Structure 1
Amino acid sequence: MSHKHLDRFQLKMEPLSARPHRFAIEATAVEPGREPGPMSDAGGELIAELARCVRTARQRDKPVMCAFGAHAIKNGLAPVLVRLIGDNWLTHLATNGAGIIHDWEFSYLGASCEDVAQMVTEGRFGNWHETGLYLNLALNIGAYEGRGYGESIGAMIHTQGLDIPSEADLEGAVAAHLAHDPQQSAAAADLLWVVRRFELAPGRLDIPHPWRRYSAQGNAFELGIPLTGHPMVGHDIIYNHPMNLCSCLGRCAERDFLTFAEAVSHLDGGGVYISIGSAVMSPMIFEKSLSMAQNLAIQRGQHIDDHYIAVVDLASSSWDWSQGEPPEEDPAYYLRFNKTFSRMGGTLRYVQADNRDFLLTLSRELGRPG
């Protein structure tokens, strides 16, 4: 049965500059040297322990992964994250679709975040031309070029533009790859549809990003550090725009998920995983990745047990997660992200903290002589 679909080409898109913004990056940005707010005694002890684990992991050439929700970007923490990857403390960044969008809007416009309630009432929420056009186009081109989700956006930010293939080149790619690489042929065909439907001229499309120094994605791309994007279809405002093509988006997201899983597969032996304010994306992709990595390790006669997980969130929890799961009558049982991570083996620590204070304190601790 074929059900009716909403036609996004009928939507009225508005320029991003017409949107009232809640945050301006120059006012919101947290610079690495800023003094953090006070931490609890338990929080300070955990961060000191975490810093020791990070140092040991890097001495052993083990990954130190950091996954975070969109609030880390909205709170202006990209400069701190960039410092940590630039200093070789963090080897992998991961965020959700909203984190990708806020990071891009900050680098492109210098501002982000809208009043959701007001904009939904007015039928304007998410219906912003540049965000939908440029992010989707970057993903459509990135899928054809073999890039991941975060890499596709990071490349656009860093190079300040996109290279659009001609129809003739794409037609040739469809035919050339059909026999031996039909997936690449399909990616070329999808991009060909986009180029034709939107009448895109071939060649360089310049897209200035005046605030790109504040971008986690752009700087990660420049430094060669993976920043993987882990979206969910329909969760983000870029799905409102008719440029959105989920076959292309899915190719990029699949590459990033497998890049993430590959990093997880190397955690054994003292690797570190830090999860900041992500109640759904981070624990869900981690458990699937660890299961796949464990499957491969068992086939080699090995097992992944020696890894350290630090979870940071504003939610309070009186339970000691190093003791396993709490009973169902304990409210802590329903902190799903902690419950998931408690099942992942290794060592689990939880700290209740503002993400700004946590990352600034960790950065300061790592800057001390070890």
Structure 2
Amino acid sequence: MNREFDRSNVRHFPLDERYSKIDIMESFVREGQFEDELTPDMAERLEKIADEIVHARERNAAVICAFGAHTIKNGMGKILGAFLRHGWFTHLATNGAGVIHDWEFAYHGKSSEDVRENVQVGKFGTWEETGLYINLALAVGAYEGLGYGASVGSLISRNGLDIPGEDELQSVISSPREELWRRAAAADLLDLLGELDIAAGFLAVAHPCAEYSVQAAAFDIGVPFTSHPMFGHDIIYTHRANKGAAVGRTAERDFLAYARSVSELEGGVYLSVGSAVMSPMIFEKSLSMARNVNAKKGRDIRNCGIHVIDLQPETWDWSMGEPPADNPAYYLRFMKTFNRMGCPVDYTSADNRVYLTGLYRALNKRSRHEG
């Protein structure tokens, strides 16, 4: 007996009918903002981290910034892109929601719906363009060998998708010379294109606000931007265009790309910004994998500064080790995870806009002095 929910019965609505709480053209963060909100203590911390980043890049070590979706909702896309253009960050990682907000800003100029109101009437997450274009980008990206982040970044950067024809896809499916993953991805894409009645050729999808997209910036620069979704967490899963295999293939590529960057963290820097679940969970597995492989080569990853930023108050000095179980800080799960990794770690309670713009200024000051 089939006990699955029939998603084809869900009605989706035009994105421009949705009330969105954030207009990116009004809320995007500029380089000079929030300087007055930087405390002396935080400024001192950021100066030290800026030095770490400069030294890491001098030795060609990784500098990874993993962040939650609120970093994008807070209008930080342009600043993150500037970090990439300067070469200060070598890898960006976020969750599925971060990808969605970034795409909606690029396509629609607005994002962040009223969940409380829309879920009452069964409209939460039921937005046609968001579900259609992101899922289609993932299916095409899976076929092209792209990761999750690059699939959506390519869509934004190129203002559309190259849709292969039926003959090409059938040829790939039937060819014993093609790798199995590509044959399977071709079959999934052929099935999806038939369901959606989408013709071959270039499918134009305009993104008038692409300048605010960090995914597009990363794609254009060629810096890894990886997404680490959890199935069912994001609104694209409500849409008939969603294909689990495409999500899985692209997300797997992104996890392995992320793990590759983690393997290059000796002498590097890891920033975890407002990500209580995704960042610590993927980091601990990737670090263990990297150490497993590096042990065969007589190498390790210990000299890596881990800097965690979130809004919870600072109640424990993590340089002292793990707090006792009767201390509330013991239950700050993400800090407990990072503290167990065997690398220097600290925690800062801060608004991500204040923190990242302050770090940008500290690094920019060093660049000007070097110039």
Query: TM-score band, normalised by the shorter chain?
Result: over 0.9
Partner Cα separation in structure 2 for residue 313 and residue 179 of structure 1: 49
Q: Aligned to 2:294, which of 290, 293, 297?
A: 297
SS of structure 1 residue aligned to 2:33: coil
Query: Residue 288 of structure 1: CA displacement?
Result: 0.4
Partner Cα separation in structure 2 for residue 75 and residue 156 of structure 1: 22
Q: Aligned to 2:191, which of 178, 190, 193?
A: 193
Partner Cα separation in structure 1 for residue 178 and residue 22 of structure 2: 49
Q: TM-score normalised to the size of structure 1? A: 0.97
Partner Cα separation in structure 2 for residue 285 and residue 23 of structure 1: 29
- Partner residue in 2 for 1:219: 217
Residues 239-278 of structure 1 correspond to what in structure 2 (within 5 A)? 239-268=237-266, 270-278=267-275
SS of structure 1 residue aligned to 2:125: coil
Partner Cα separation in structure 2 for residue 154 and residue 215 of structure 1: 8
SS of structure 1 residue aligned to 2:249: helix
Query: Residue 317 of structure 1: CA displacement?
Result: 2.2
Residues 110-125 of structure 1 correspond to what in structure 2 (within 5 A)? 110-125=109-124
Q: Tell me which amino acid in the other structure corresponds to 2:249.
A: R
* Structure 1: runs of 5+ lacking an equivalent: none
Partner Cα separation in structure 2 for residue 67 and residue 37 of structure 1: 25
Residues 118-157 of structure 1 correspond to what in structure 2 (within 5 A)? 118-157=117-156
- Partner residue in 2 for 1:335: 332
Partner Cα separation in structure 2 for residue 74 and residue 320 of structure 1: 30
Query: Residue 299 of structure 1: CA displacement?
Result: 1.6
Q: CA RMSD in A?
A: 1.1
Partner Cα separation in structure 2 for residue 231 and residue 352 of structure 1: 25
Query: Aligned residue pairs: how many?
Result: 367
Q: Tell me which amino acid in the other structure corresponds to 1:42.
A: D
Q: Tell me which amino acid in the other structure corresponds to 2:216.
A: G
- Partner residue in 2 for 1:28: 27
Runs of 4+ in 1 over 3 A off after TM superposition: none
- Partner residue in 2 for 1:205: 203
Residues 19-58 of structure 1 correspond to what in structure 2 (within 5 A)? 19-58=18-57
Query: Residue 3 of structure 1: CA displacement?
Result: 4.2
1:286 pairs with 2:295: no
Equivalent pair of 1:283/1:340 in contact (CA under 8 Å)? yes
Equivalent pair of 2:174/2:183 in contact (CA under 8 Å)? yes
Equivalent pair of 2:172/2:178 in contact (CA under 8 Å)? no
Equivalent pair of 2:34/2:353 in contact (CA under 8 Å)? no
Q: Tell me which amino acid in the other structure corresponds to 1:327.
A: P
Query: Residue 180 of structure 1: CA displacement?
Result: 5.5
Question: 1:198-224 CA distances to partner (integer Å, 9 max, x unpaired)?
Answer: 111000100000000000001110111
Q: Tell me which amino acid in the other structure corresponds to 1:182.
A: L
Equivalent pair of 1:46/1:349 in contact (CA under 8 Å)? no
Question: 1:30-79 CA distances to partner (integer Å, 9 max, x unpaired)?
Answer: 01232434233332221111111001001111111000000000000011
Partner Cα separation in structure 2 for residue 37 and residue 310 of structure 1: 22
Name the stretch that deviates more: 305-314 or 44-53.
44-53
Query: Residue 179 of structure 1: CA displacement?
Result: 5.7
Give the % identical residues. 49
Residues 32-181 of structure 1 correspond to what in structure 2 (within 5 A)? 32-176=31-175, 178=176, 181=179
Partner Cα separation in structure 2 for residue 136 and residue 32 of structure 1: 33
Partner Cα separation in structure 2 for residue 31 and residue 222 of structure 1: 21
SS of structure 1 residue aligned to 2:113: coil
* Structure 2: runs of 5+ lacking an equivalent: none
